[in-house]
Structures are given as C-alpha cells and as structure tokens.
Amino acid sequence: MKNITFHINNEAYTVDIGEDPEDKLQDGLKKFLTTEKNISTAELLLAYLRKSQELVNFEEKINEEIAKLPSLEDLRVLED
C-alpha cells in the first residue's frame, strides 16, 4: 500500500492510494496538486477542474475514435 500526503489549508491529509508499483496514480495526482507545500481550497478546486477538463477532452477523443469504427450492421454486411 502506498500513502500520499497533501497539505490543504494547513492541514495534512494522508490518503492510501493502494498499489501503485509504477507511480502512475501518484504522478497523475501530482500533475495538478503539489505535495511539497500547503495549498488552499481554491487551488484544490482548480486542480479538480483541470483534471476534470483533461478527462472530458480525453473522453471526446475516445468518442471520435469510436465513431470511426464500423457499426455492428456494417460488420454483419461484411460477413454476408
């Protein structure tokens, strides 16, 4: 198990992030949140909004790629 500590409004919050052998989750969290200094609630909210925007953009890209795939009907036509 791996823990990561954030300092928000001069309070320490330690979170168990479970198994993270390649530090991917930890690195993803640190992309928008620092563990090196205290952050404010406003900075925490901004990090949340930035990560949310990143995920929305990623979802849009995935949906664009899915739209390029043939439909089930198209695949059935190819089988006949």
pLDDT digits (tens, 9 = 90+) for 63-75: 999 999 888 777 7
Domain boundaries, the chain: 2-79
Contact predicate 33/9, CB 8 Å = no
Residue 27, φ and ψ in degrees, nearest 5: -65, -40
pLDDT digits (tens, 9 = 90+) for 2-36: 999 999 999 999 999 999 989 999 998 899 999 99
pTM, to two decimals: 0.74
Structure tokens at 42: 């406003």
Q: Provide the 8-state DSSP code for 69.
A: S
